[in-house]
Amino acid sequence: MDQRKRITLKDLAAKADVHYSTVSRVMNAATRHLVADEVAERILRMADELGFRPNRIAAGLRTKRSGLIGVVLPDISNPVFPPILAGLEGVLASRGYVPIVVNVGADKTRQRFVIDQMMGRQVDGLILATAEREDAVLDYCVKQNIPVVMVNRGEDIGRVPCVVSDNLLGMRLAVDHLVALGHRRIGHIAGPDSLSTGHQRKQGFIDAVRRHKLRKDEWMIVEAASYGREAGREACRTLLARFPALTAIAAGNDLVALGCYDYLREAGIACPARVSVIGHNDMPFVDALTPALTTIRIAVHEMGVQAATLLLARIENAKAEAASVVLRPELIVRGSTAPPAQ
Protein backbone atom coordinates (compact mmCIF):
# COMPACT_ATOMS: atom_id res chain seq x y z
CA MET A 1 0.00 0.00 0.00
CA ASP A 2 1.20 3.53 -0.72
CA GLN A 3 2.90 4.78 2.48
CA ARG A 4 1.45 8.27 1.97
CA LYS A 5 -2.08 7.00 2.45
CA ARG A 6 -1.29 5.91 6.03
CA ILE A 7 -0.41 9.42 7.21
CA THR A 8 -2.85 10.38 9.94
CA LEU A 9 -3.70 13.67 11.61
CA LYS A 10 -1.60 12.66 14.63
CA ASP A 11 1.34 11.72 12.39
CA LEU A 12 1.21 15.12 10.75
CA ALA A 13 1.02 16.86 14.14
CA ALA A 14 4.11 14.98 15.32
CA LYS A 15 6.10 15.82 12.18
CA ALA A 16 5.06 19.47 12.39
CA ASP A 17 5.82 19.52 16.14
CA VAL A 18 2.44 21.01 17.02
CA HIS A 19 -0.55 19.80 19.00
CA TYR A 20 -3.07 17.50 17.30
CA SER A 21 -5.83 20.10 17.78
CA THR A 22 -3.78 22.71 15.90
CA VAL A 23 -3.53 20.47 12.85
CA SER A 24 -7.26 19.72 13.12
CA ARG A 25 -8.06 23.44 13.04
CA VAL A 26 -5.79 24.06 10.06
CA MET A 27 -7.35 21.24 8.06
CA ASN A 28 -10.81 22.78 8.50
CA ALA A 29 -11.24 25.95 6.43
CA ALA A 30 -13.87 27.20 8.86
CA THR A 31 -11.43 27.17 11.81
CA ARG A 32 -8.10 27.82 10.06
CA HIS A 33 -8.25 31.50 11.02
CA LEU A 34 -7.78 30.46 14.66
CA VAL A 35 -4.18 29.44 13.91
CA ALA A 36 -1.34 31.88 13.21
CA ASP A 37 -0.78 32.31 9.45
CA GLU A 38 2.84 31.16 9.46
CA VAL A 39 1.96 28.01 11.43
CA ALA A 40 -1.01 27.22 9.17
CA GLU A 41 1.12 27.70 6.06
CA ARG A 42 3.84 25.39 7.43
CA ILE A 43 1.31 22.67 8.29
CA LEU A 44 -0.42 22.90 4.92
CA ARG A 45 2.91 22.77 3.09
CA MET A 46 4.02 19.71 5.08
CA ALA A 47 0.63 18.03 4.50
CA ASP A 48 1.05 18.56 0.77
CA GLU A 49 4.59 17.18 0.77
CA LEU A 50 3.51 14.08 2.71
CA GLY A 51 0.37 13.55 0.65
CA PHE A 52 -1.88 13.86 3.69
CA ARG A 53 -5.61 13.95 3.02
CA PRO A 54 -8.11 14.40 5.89
CA ASN A 55 -10.36 11.43 6.56
CA ARG A 56 -13.73 13.13 6.13
CA ILE A 57 -15.69 10.02 7.13
CA ALA A 58 -13.88 9.75 10.45
CA ALA A 59 -14.19 13.50 11.01
CA GLY A 60 -17.89 13.29 10.26
CA LEU A 61 -18.36 10.60 12.90
CA ARG A 62 -16.77 12.90 15.46
CA THR A 63 -18.46 16.16 14.49
CA LYS A 64 -21.75 14.82 13.08
CA ARG A 65 -20.99 16.95 10.00
CA SER A 66 -20.03 15.75 6.52
CA GLY A 67 -19.02 19.11 5.05
CA LEU A 68 -21.33 18.39 2.09
CA ILE A 69 -24.25 20.50 0.87
CA GLY A 70 -26.82 19.15 -1.60
CA VAL A 71 -27.85 21.55 -4.38
CA VAL A 72 -30.86 20.44 -6.43
CA LEU A 73 -31.52 22.16 -9.78
CA PRO A 74 -34.48 21.79 -12.17
CA ASP A 75 -32.54 22.56 -15.38
CA ILE A 76 -28.79 23.07 -15.32
CA SER A 77 -28.88 24.21 -18.97
CA ASN A 78 -30.86 27.31 -17.94
CA PRO A 79 -28.28 30.15 -17.89
CA VAL A 80 -29.77 31.60 -14.71
CA PHE A 81 -28.26 28.81 -12.58
CA PRO A 82 -24.45 28.94 -13.20
CA PRO A 83 -24.07 32.38 -11.54
CA ILE A 84 -26.26 31.23 -8.65
CA LEU A 85 -23.94 28.21 -8.25
CA ALA A 86 -20.89 30.49 -8.36
CA GLY A 87 -22.32 32.57 -5.52
CA LEU A 88 -23.14 29.46 -3.50
CA GLU A 89 -19.76 27.85 -4.00
CA GLY A 90 -17.80 30.94 -2.98
CA VAL A 91 -19.51 31.14 0.42
CA LEU A 92 -19.50 27.38 1.03
CA ALA A 93 -15.80 27.04 0.14
CA SER A 94 -14.85 29.83 2.55
CA ARG A 95 -16.45 27.78 5.35
CA GLY A 96 -14.99 24.42 4.31
CA TYR A 97 -18.12 22.99 2.66
CA VAL A 98 -18.39 21.26 -0.71
CA PRO A 99 -21.60 21.39 -2.81
CA ILE A 100 -22.98 18.29 -4.52
CA VAL A 101 -24.97 19.59 -7.52
CA VAL A 102 -27.64 17.43 -9.18
CA ASN A 103 -29.87 18.25 -12.14
CA VAL A 104 -33.26 16.60 -11.55
CA GLY A 105 -35.82 18.16 -13.92
CA ALA A 106 -39.44 18.52 -12.87
CA ASP A 107 -40.10 14.84 -12.02
CA LYS A 108 -41.04 14.69 -8.32
CA THR A 109 -40.16 11.00 -8.05
CA ARG A 110 -36.67 11.73 -9.35
CA GLN A 111 -36.35 14.70 -6.97
CA ARG A 112 -37.33 12.57 -3.98
CA PHE A 113 -34.88 9.83 -5.01
CA VAL A 114 -31.99 12.29 -5.34
CA ILE A 115 -32.74 13.92 -2.00
CA ASP A 116 -32.89 10.50 -0.30
CA GLN A 117 -29.50 9.67 -1.83
CA MET A 118 -28.04 12.96 -0.59
CA MET A 119 -29.39 12.47 2.92
CA GLY A 120 -28.00 8.93 2.85
CA ARG A 121 -24.60 10.52 2.28
CA GLN A 122 -25.15 12.72 5.33
CA VAL A 123 -25.30 16.11 3.59
CA ASP A 124 -25.45 18.85 6.18
CA GLY A 125 -28.15 20.80 4.33
CA LEU A 126 -30.04 21.26 1.08
CA ILE A 127 -30.43 24.18 -1.32
CA LEU A 128 -33.44 23.65 -3.57
CA ALA A 129 -34.10 25.51 -6.81
CA THR A 130 -36.87 23.06 -7.70
CA ALA A 131 -39.62 23.92 -5.23
CA GLU A 132 -43.12 24.70 -6.43
CA ARG A 133 -45.66 26.86 -4.59
CA GLU A 134 -47.14 23.69 -3.09
CA ASP A 135 -44.44 21.04 -3.09
CA ALA A 136 -44.61 17.49 -1.70
CA VAL A 137 -40.83 17.05 -1.92
CA LEU A 138 -40.29 20.16 0.17
CA ASP A 139 -42.86 18.80 2.65
CA TYR A 140 -40.75 15.65 2.89
CA CYS A 141 -37.54 17.60 3.51
CA VAL A 142 -39.16 19.62 6.29
CA LYS A 143 -40.36 16.41 7.99
CA GLN A 144 -36.80 15.04 7.86
CA ASN A 145 -35.60 18.03 9.90
CA ILE A 146 -32.75 18.74 7.53
CA PRO A 147 -31.75 22.40 7.04
CA VAL A 148 -33.26 23.63 3.74
CA VAL A 149 -33.12 26.91 1.83
CA MET A 150 -34.91 27.66 -1.43
CA VAL A 151 -33.28 29.78 -4.11
CA ASN A 152 -34.92 31.66 -7.02
CA ARG A 153 -38.29 30.17 -6.07
CA GLY A 154 -40.41 30.29 -2.94
CA GLU A 155 -43.46 28.53 -1.54
CA ASP A 156 -46.81 29.90 -0.47
CA ILE A 157 -46.59 28.82 3.19
CA GLY A 158 -43.16 30.26 4.01
CA ARG A 159 -41.90 27.41 6.22
CA VAL A 160 -38.27 27.57 5.12
CA PRO A 161 -35.97 30.47 4.14
CA CYS A 162 -35.83 31.49 0.50
CA VAL A 163 -33.82 33.93 -1.59
CA VAL A 164 -35.75 35.39 -4.52
CA SER A 165 -35.94 38.41 -6.76
CA ASP A 166 -38.79 40.87 -6.26
CA ASN A 167 -40.94 39.46 -9.06
CA LEU A 168 -43.80 41.92 -8.55
CA LEU A 169 -41.45 44.87 -8.86
CA GLY A 170 -39.68 43.32 -11.84
CA MET A 171 -42.86 43.05 -13.86
CA ARG A 172 -43.91 46.52 -12.81
CA LEU A 173 -40.62 47.87 -14.17
CA ALA A 174 -41.27 46.02 -17.45
CA VAL A 175 -44.80 47.40 -17.87
CA ASP A 176 -43.78 50.90 -16.77
CA HIS A 177 -41.09 50.89 -19.46
CA LEU A 178 -43.48 49.77 -22.20
CA VAL A 179 -46.17 52.26 -21.21
CA ALA A 180 -43.58 55.07 -21.08
CA LEU A 181 -42.71 54.23 -24.70
CA GLY A 182 -46.37 54.66 -25.61
CA HIS A 183 -47.61 51.05 -25.69
CA ARG A 184 -51.25 50.53 -24.70
CA ARG A 185 -51.82 47.01 -26.07
CA ILE A 186 -49.53 44.69 -24.13
CA GLY A 187 -49.41 40.92 -23.82
CA HIS A 188 -47.75 38.86 -21.11
CA ILE A 189 -46.43 35.32 -21.58
CA ALA A 190 -46.39 33.95 -18.04
CA GLY A 191 -44.35 31.11 -16.65
CA PRO A 192 -46.18 28.12 -15.12
CA ASP A 193 -48.52 29.25 -12.33
CA SER A 194 -47.36 26.33 -10.15
CA LEU A 195 -44.03 28.15 -9.73
CA SER A 196 -43.71 31.22 -7.53
CA THR A 197 -41.87 33.09 -10.30
CA GLY A 198 -44.66 32.45 -12.82
CA HIS A 199 -47.42 33.28 -10.37
CA GLN A 200 -45.83 36.43 -8.94
CA ARG A 201 -44.70 37.86 -12.27
CA LYS A 202 -48.19 37.34 -13.66
CA GLN A 203 -49.66 39.09 -10.64
CA GLY A 204 -47.12 41.87 -11.03
CA PHE A 205 -48.20 42.32 -14.66
CA ILE A 206 -51.89 42.49 -13.70
CA ASP A 207 -51.18 45.01 -10.95
CA ALA A 208 -49.11 47.16 -13.31
CA VAL A 209 -51.58 47.31 -16.22
CA ARG A 210 -54.37 48.15 -13.78
CA ARG A 211 -52.26 50.87 -12.21
CA HIS A 212 -51.79 52.36 -15.68
CA LYS A 213 -55.57 52.07 -16.20
CA LEU A 214 -55.33 49.88 -19.29
CA ARG A 215 -58.75 48.53 -20.26
CA LYS A 216 -59.42 44.78 -20.21
CA ASP A 217 -59.29 44.67 -24.00
CA GLU A 218 -55.84 46.34 -23.99
CA TRP A 219 -53.92 43.52 -22.31
CA MET A 220 -53.84 39.73 -22.35
CA ILE A 221 -52.03 36.89 -20.58
CA VAL A 222 -51.07 33.49 -22.03
CA GLU A 223 -49.34 30.91 -19.81
CA ALA A 224 -46.38 29.06 -21.31
CA ALA A 225 -46.10 25.32 -20.69
CA SER A 226 -42.59 25.84 -19.26
CA TYR A 227 -39.84 28.41 -19.03
CA GLY A 228 -38.24 27.02 -22.19
CA ARG A 229 -37.60 28.57 -25.58
CA GLU A 230 -39.93 26.25 -27.49
CA ALA A 231 -42.71 26.82 -24.96
CA GLY A 232 -42.19 30.56 -25.44
CA ARG A 233 -42.50 30.21 -29.21
CA GLU A 234 -45.80 28.32 -28.96
CA ALA A 235 -47.18 30.71 -26.36
CA CYS A 236 -46.27 33.66 -28.59
CA ARG A 237 -48.13 32.03 -31.48
CA THR A 238 -51.21 31.66 -29.26
CA LEU A 239 -50.94 35.20 -27.92
CA LEU A 240 -50.72 36.79 -31.39
CA ALA A 241 -53.64 34.68 -32.62
CA ARG A 242 -55.82 35.86 -29.73
CA PHE A 243 -54.56 39.43 -29.57
CA PRO A 244 -53.28 40.44 -33.02
CA ALA A 245 -53.44 44.15 -32.20
CA LEU A 246 -50.81 43.96 -29.44
CA THR A 247 -47.67 46.07 -29.85
CA ALA A 248 -45.54 44.72 -26.98
CA ILE A 249 -44.86 41.46 -25.11
CA ALA A 250 -43.57 41.15 -21.56
CA ALA A 251 -42.09 37.64 -21.40
CA GLY A 252 -41.90 35.57 -18.22
CA ASN A 253 -38.17 35.03 -18.65
CA ASP A 254 -35.43 35.45 -21.28
CA LEU A 255 -35.80 31.93 -22.71
CA VAL A 256 -39.49 32.62 -23.31
CA ALA A 257 -38.46 35.92 -24.93
CA LEU A 258 -36.13 33.97 -27.25
CA GLY A 259 -39.11 31.85 -28.21
CA CYS A 260 -40.98 35.08 -29.02
CA TYR A 261 -38.10 36.10 -31.29
CA ASP A 262 -38.39 32.74 -33.06
CA TYR A 263 -42.11 33.05 -33.70
CA LEU A 264 -41.99 36.72 -34.73
CA ARG A 265 -39.23 35.92 -37.22
CA GLU A 266 -41.21 32.93 -38.52
CA ALA A 267 -44.34 35.09 -38.92
CA GLY A 268 -42.48 37.96 -40.58
CA ILE A 269 -43.24 40.36 -37.71
CA ALA A 270 -40.48 42.89 -37.10
CA CYS A 271 -39.13 43.44 -33.58
CA PRO A 272 -39.26 46.15 -32.30
CA ALA A 273 -40.77 48.00 -35.31
CA ARG A 274 -44.06 46.06 -35.06
CA VAL A 275 -43.82 44.28 -31.69
CA SER A 276 -41.51 45.15 -28.80
CA VAL A 277 -40.29 42.32 -26.54
CA ILE A 278 -38.96 42.54 -22.99
CA GLY A 279 -37.52 39.57 -21.12
CA HIS A 280 -36.76 38.78 -17.48
CA ASN A 281 -33.50 37.62 -15.80
CA ASP A 282 -30.80 39.16 -18.08
CA MET A 283 -29.16 35.82 -18.77
CA PRO A 284 -25.73 35.80 -20.48
CA PHE A 285 -25.48 36.84 -24.15
CA VAL A 286 -28.95 38.36 -24.52
CA ASP A 287 -27.10 41.60 -25.25
CA ALA A 288 -25.63 39.88 -28.33
CA LEU A 289 -29.02 39.04 -29.88
CA THR A 290 -30.44 40.96 -32.83
CA PRO A 291 -32.03 43.08 -31.56
CA ALA A 292 -30.32 43.07 -28.16
CA LEU A 293 -32.91 42.09 -25.56
CA THR A 294 -34.38 44.62 -23.17
CA THR A 295 -34.88 42.72 -19.92
CA ILE A 296 -35.17 42.77 -16.14
CA ARG A 297 -31.86 41.97 -14.50
CA ILE A 298 -32.07 39.86 -11.35
CA ALA A 299 -29.16 39.53 -8.93
CA VAL A 300 -28.43 35.86 -9.57
CA HIS A 301 -24.91 35.75 -8.09
CA GLU A 302 -26.12 37.50 -4.95
CA MET A 303 -28.96 34.95 -4.76
CA GLY A 304 -26.37 32.20 -4.41
CA VAL A 305 -24.38 34.14 -1.83
CA GLN A 306 -27.43 34.83 0.30
CA ALA A 307 -28.82 31.28 -0.01
CA ALA A 308 -25.53 29.74 1.17
CA THR A 309 -25.32 32.26 4.02
CA LEU A 310 -28.87 31.47 5.18
CA LEU A 311 -28.26 27.73 4.99
CA LEU A 312 -25.06 27.87 7.03
CA ALA A 313 -26.93 29.89 9.66
CA ARG A 314 -29.59 27.15 9.78
CA ILE A 315 -26.92 24.46 10.10
CA GLU A 316 -25.34 26.31 13.02
CA ASN A 317 -28.70 27.00 14.67
CA ALA A 318 -31.62 24.75 13.75
CA LYS A 319 -33.98 27.12 15.54
CA ALA A 320 -32.91 30.14 13.51
CA GLU A 321 -35.81 32.15 12.14
CA ALA A 322 -36.94 31.15 8.64
CA ALA A 323 -35.99 34.57 7.30
CA SER A 324 -36.11 35.20 3.58
CA VAL A 325 -34.28 37.61 1.30
CA VAL A 326 -35.96 39.52 -1.54
CA LEU A 327 -33.49 41.14 -3.96
CA ARG A 328 -34.26 44.21 -6.03
CA PRO A 329 -34.30 43.76 -9.85
CA GLU A 330 -33.17 46.34 -12.41
CA LEU A 331 -34.49 47.37 -15.84
CA ILE A 332 -31.89 46.99 -18.62
CA VAL A 333 -32.96 48.81 -21.80
CA ARG A 334 -31.59 47.56 -25.12
CA GLY A 335 -32.82 47.36 -28.69
CA SER A 336 -35.85 45.07 -28.49
CA THR A 337 -38.21 47.76 -27.21
CA ALA A 338 -39.22 50.95 -29.02
CA PRO A 339 -42.26 53.22 -29.32
CA PRO A 340 -45.18 51.55 -31.15
CA ALA A 341 -45.56 52.17 -34.86
CA GLN A 342 -48.00 54.94 -35.71
User: Where are the alpha helices (H) located in 212-299, listed in sequence order?
Assistant: 229-242, 254-267
Q: How much is the pLDDT for 56?
A: 55
Residue 304 backbone dihedrals phi, psi, to 5 degrees:
-65, -45
Decide the pairing of beta strands 98-103 and 276-278.
Answer: unpaired
Question: CA 328 to CA 268: how far, in whole Å?
Answer: 36
Query: Domain 167-298 class?
Result: alpha beta
Q: What angle do CA 30, 100, 113 make, to 5 degrees?
A: 135
Could you please report the per-residue DSSP string of 48-90? HHHT----HHHHHHHHS--SEEEEEES-TTSTTHHHHHHHHHH
Question: CA 43 to CA 77: how far, in whole Å?
Answer: 41
Decide the pairing of beta strands 330-332 and 295-297.
Answer: antiparallel
| Residue 34 near residue 89 (C-beta atoms within 8 A) | no
Quick one: DSSP state of residue 281?
A: B
Q: How much is the pLDDT for 53?
A: 66
Domain ranges of the chain: 3-54, 65-165+300-327, 167-298
How many Cα atoms within 13 Å fall on the side-chain side of residue 265?
Answer: 10
Question: CA 27 to CA 129: how far, in whole Å?
Answer: 31
Question: CA 185 to CA 297: how far, in whole Å?
Answer: 24
User: Is residue 270 classed exposed, middle or buried when 0-12, 13-18 and 19+ CB atoms within 10 A define those classes?
Assistant: exposed
Hey, what CATH topology would domain 65-165+300-327 get?
A: Rossmann fold (3.40.50)
Query: Domain 3-54 class?
Result: mainly alpha
Question: CA 58 to CA 221: how far, in whole Å?
Answer: 56
Question: CA 316 to CA 130: how far, in whole Å?
Answer: 24
Domains 65-165+300-327 and 167-298 share a fold: yes
Question: CA 342 to CA 338: how far, in whole Å?
Answer: 12
Upstream peptide bond of 272 is cis (omega within 30 degrees of 0): yes
Question: CA 299 to CA 92: how far, in whole Å?
Answer: 18
Q: How much is the pLDDT for 1?
A: 37
Name the helix (H) or strand (E) containing 306.
Answer: helix 300-316
Which pLDDT tens digits describe the chain residue by residue (342 residues)?
A: 344 456 777 777 787 888 878 877 777 766 777 888 888 888 888 877 777 766 554 554 454 567 899 999 998 888 889 999 999 999 999 988 999 999 998 888 899 999 999 988 889 999 999 888 888 889 999 888 899 999 998 887 778 899 999 999 999 999 999 999 999 999 999 999 999 999 999 999 999 999 999 999 999 999 999 999 999 999 999 999 999 999 999 999 999 999 999 999 999 999 999 999 999 999 999 999 999 999 999 999 999 999 999 999 999 887 777 788 999 999 999 999 999 987
Q: How much is the pLDDT for 319?
A: 72
Q: How much is the pLDDT for 310?
A: 94
pLDDT tens figures, 51-89: 776 655 455 445 456 789 999 999 888 888 999 999 999
Angle between helices 167-181 and 196-211 (to 10 degrees): 40
Q: How much is the pLDDT for 229?
A: 96
Q: How many helices (H) and strands (E) does the chain have?
A: 12, 12
* Whole-prediction pTM: 0.79
Torsion of CA 26, 27, 30, 36, to 10 degrees: 10
Q: How much is the pLDDT for 342?
A: 77
Name the helix (H) or strand (E) containing 331.
Answer: strand 330-332
Question: CA 105 to CA 58: how far, in whole Å?
Answer: 34
